Amino acid sequence: MSGPGRYLTRRLQVWRTDTVDDGAGGQETSRVLQGTVRVKVDQPSPTERLVAAQAGSKHSHDIWLLPTADVRRGDELRGTDALGQAQRFRVLSVVQPSRPVYSKAFAELIQEEGA
């Protein structure tokens, strides 16, 4: 395997919010599994953390993806880390360089109370 794909050694499920009418004038919202993507999850650099803090962001992880991966702002990425611990990430934004060889998602790790 060549290109950036060889570094994408983890798989995370993509969950997206779906809203449907409930038939009584309201709506029901749930997360729906969209598929699985190959990723590499990094910690942000100290500079990225400083910029995020100044902007009031909760950016905690950089997640690298193939440029064709269907991951969008607001999606939730779910999987396990190298120790088998369950992880959930909320995607804050997704960017690509001018030459689309990869996509980079800025995400926040969601931790349950007491975790």
Predicted confidence pLDDT, tens digits, the chain (115 residues): 456 667 888 999 999 999 888 888 888 889 999 999 999 998 767 776 676 666 666 768 899 999 999 999 999 999 998 889 999 999 999 998 888 899 999 999 887 765 5
CB atoms within 10 A of CB 37: 23
What pTM did the predictor assign? 0.80
Contact 57, 92 (CB under 8 A): yes
**∠ Cα 35 39 45 (to 5°):** 140
Cα 53 to Cα 83: distance, rounded to the nearest angstrom? 28
Cα 27 to Cα 90: distance, rounded to the nearest angstrom? 22
